[in-house]
Amino acid sequence: MFNQLKMPLFYLVLTMTFGYAIFYFFLNPQTQIVSKSPTPSSSTHALFTANFPDENGKPQSLKQYEGKVVVLNFWASWCEPCREEMPELSELHNSYKDKNVVVLGVAIEDVAGINDFLKETKVSYPLFAADVQGMDIATSMGNNKGVLPYTVIIKVDGTVAKTYFGRITKPLLEKTLKTIL
């Protein structure tokens, strides 16, 4: 009797496991894919030696942010999750700017794309147009999936504290910031 039930029971458990995995990883909007520790290629050197135009087209050295806690967000105006998280990143920037924390937005597009976006959405933190070079830097900082948005929290000493694939929230970022401030 038990031998007759073994195979159907096995398939039932297997189906339930796959169903849960699909729900958890693909259908659950609360799921965040978080890299628990920086990868060996998580270097901030490329970031702090880069020069990118700001939203006004004026070249800026990102070295000016070295020595601060940096919440670095790689984004694009055509990326809906990127657009959704911008108000929360602005709130975070305003809440923590007096605590040696800065939020930086590195757009994977040109200055014109940023300006079109800013006509619709107000952003309180610095934005830079990095185009293709921005993805190279994101990759060097652990974005091995090539996805946007991609957020990196960098400690004062220039090491990567945590990385996030996909849309983030202010409470999620604050949880990490509390551990390094």
Q: What is the CATH number of the domain that holds 162?
A: 3.40.30.10
**pLDDT of 41 over the 50 cut:** no
Report CA Rg, the chain: 20
Show the domain range for 168.
33-180
pLDDT at residue 25 is higher than 70: no
Do 37 and 20 have their domain in common?
no
pLDDT confidence of residue 19: 53
User: Which region among 10-14, 52-56, 73-77, 176-180 has the lowest average model confidence (pLDDT)?
Assistant: 10-14
Q: Beta 69-75 vs 101-107: how paired, if at all?
A: parallel
Q: Are 27 and 37 members of one domain?
A: no
Cα gap 147→167, rounded to integer Å = 10
Maximal CA-CA distance, the chain: 77
Q: Are residues 12 and 71 in the same domain?
A: no
- Over the stretch 116-173, which tens digit does the pLDDT of each residue have? 999 999 999 999 999 999 999 999 999 999 999 999 999 999 999 999 999 999 999 9
Question: Under a CB-based contact definition with an 8 Å cutoff, are residues 88 and 169 in contact?
Answer: yes
**18 and 93 within one domain:** no
The whole model's pTM is what?
Answer: 0.77
* Residues 83 and 169 reside in one and the same domain: yes
Same domain, 13 and 59: no
In angstroms, the CA 71 to CA 61 distance is 16
Contact assessment for residue 69 and residue 100, using Cβ atoms and an 8 Å cutoff = yes
My answer on whether 123 and 162 are in the same domain is yes
Decide: 70 and 92 in contact? Cβ < 8 Å.
no
Whether residue 171 is found in the same domain as residue 117: yes
86 plus 168 within the same structural domain: yes
Q: How far apart are CA 159 and CA 72, in angstroms?
A: 12
Question: Could you tell me if 151 and 176 are in contact, meaning their C-beta atoms sit under 8 angstroms apart?
Answer: no
Same domain, 5 and 48: no
Q: Same domain for 111 and 140?
A: yes
Cα→Cα distances 21→18, 35, 36, 160, Å: 5, 18, 20, 29
Looking at the structure of the chain, the number of domains it has is: 2
14 and 80 in a common domain = no
Distance of alpha carbon 79 from alpha carbon 67, whole angstroms: 30
